[in-house]
A and B are shown apart, each in its own frame.
Chain A
Amino acid sequence: DVKVTQSSRYLVKRTGEKVFLECVQDMDHENMFWYRQDPGLGLRLIYFSYDVKMKEKGDIPEGYSVSREKKERFSLILESASTNQTSMYLCASSFLIPSGGFGSTDTQYFGPGTRLTVL
């Protein structure tokens, strides 16, 4: 079974703190993703990575950065946490389906999520 783990299920931080969220997958997937999930807004992509040291901005990258030093690990960094970053954060990983160009993402496997509260 594919396993995607996230470093914390619940996290409480103060405004201005630097926050690290870590994600590890054990299936040798090329792609890894960070989403945030808010009621009524669904899942919104923050950043994704298609290879080690490679990253691409998603739909809402402002206020976030990422790091992928090893294939199995993808970290999300909030440089200076703010209250509007209180949310559920979900990590996912996937293979690519070769289909011309970069290819298309196959099934994404999700971690259990980290509920972050910024006070």
Chain B
Amino acid sequence: AQSVTQLDSQVPVFEEAPVELRCNYSSSVSVYLFWYVQYPNQGLQLLLKYLSGSTLVKGINGFEAEFNKSQTSFHLRKPSVHISDTAEYFCAVSVSEKLVFGKGTKLTVNP
């Protein structure tokens, strides 16, 4: 069965520091990959997605992710975070009609 592993459940960083949120997936077929963000008391919002083409994907709010097929990874990065980036981030892989989600990474940006 296809699965998604987010390697860190919590990531604390200081404002303006770079951040990387790690995601690994297991799949034996072509994959479509997604990163979502959830701010407190809200639904999930798409940050970016990889369907095909360039392995470096740029998303909203200055985030980007790199698809690495050989390492089955799709890590999310931002070169300089803001307080407003504090949220929970979910990685997901498309499996037929469904998305399989990781358990989430809580990013806390401290002043």
Show the binding face of B for A, using Cβ within 8 Å.
Answer: 9, 30, 32, 34, 36, 41-46, 49, 51, 90, 94-99, 101-104
Complex Cα–Cα for A48 and B69 (A): 29
* Contact assessment for A112 and B101 in the assembled complex, using a CB-CB cutoff below 8 Å: no
Complex Cα–Cα for A28 and B111 (A): 43
Contacts of B30 in A (CB 8 A): 99
Show the binding face of A for B, using Cβ within 8 Å.
Answer: 4, 31, 33, 40-43, 45, 48, 50, 56, 58, 90, 92, 96-97, 99, 101-113
Could you list some 29 contacts between A and B, CB below 8 A?
A33-B98, A40-B103, A41-B103, A42-B104, A43-B90, A45-B99, A48-B98, A50-B97, A56-B97, A58-B98, A92-B44, A101-B96, A102-B96, A103-B97, A104-B32, A104-B94, A104-B95, A104-B97, A105-B96, A105-B97, A106-B32, A106-B51, A107-B49, A108-B99, A109-B46, A110-B36, A110-B45, A112-B43, A113-B41
| Distance between B33 CB and nearest chain A CB, rounded to angstroms | 11
7 cross-chain pairs, A with B, having the tightest CB-CB distances, nearest first? A110-B43, A42-B103, A110-B44, A43-B101, A104-B94, A112-B43, A42-B101
Contacts of B46 in A (CB 8 A): 107-109
Complex Cα–Cα for A71 and B41 (A): 27
Instruction: Contacts A40-B9, A43-B90, A50-B97 known; list 16 others, CB within 8 Å.
Output: A45-B99, A48-B97, A48-B98, A58-B98, A90-B43, A92-B44, A102-B97, A103-B96, A104-B94, A104-B95, A105-B32, A105-B99, A106-B51, A108-B44, A108-B99, A113-B42
| Distance between B100 CB and nearest chain A CB, rounded to angstroms | 8
Complex Cα–Cα for A111 and B41 (A): 11
| Distance between A13 CB and nearest chain B CB, rounded to angstroms | 20
Complex Cα–Cα for A102 and B95 (A): 10
* Contact assessment for A90 and B99 in the assembled complex, using a CB-CB cutoff below 8 Å: no
Contacts of B102 in A (CB 8 A): 42
Complex Cα–Cα for A92 and B34 (A): 14
* Contact assessment for B32 and A97 in the assembled complex, using a CB-CB cutoff below 8 Å: yes
User: Which of B9, B49, B96, B103 has most A Cβ within 10 Å?
Assistant: B96
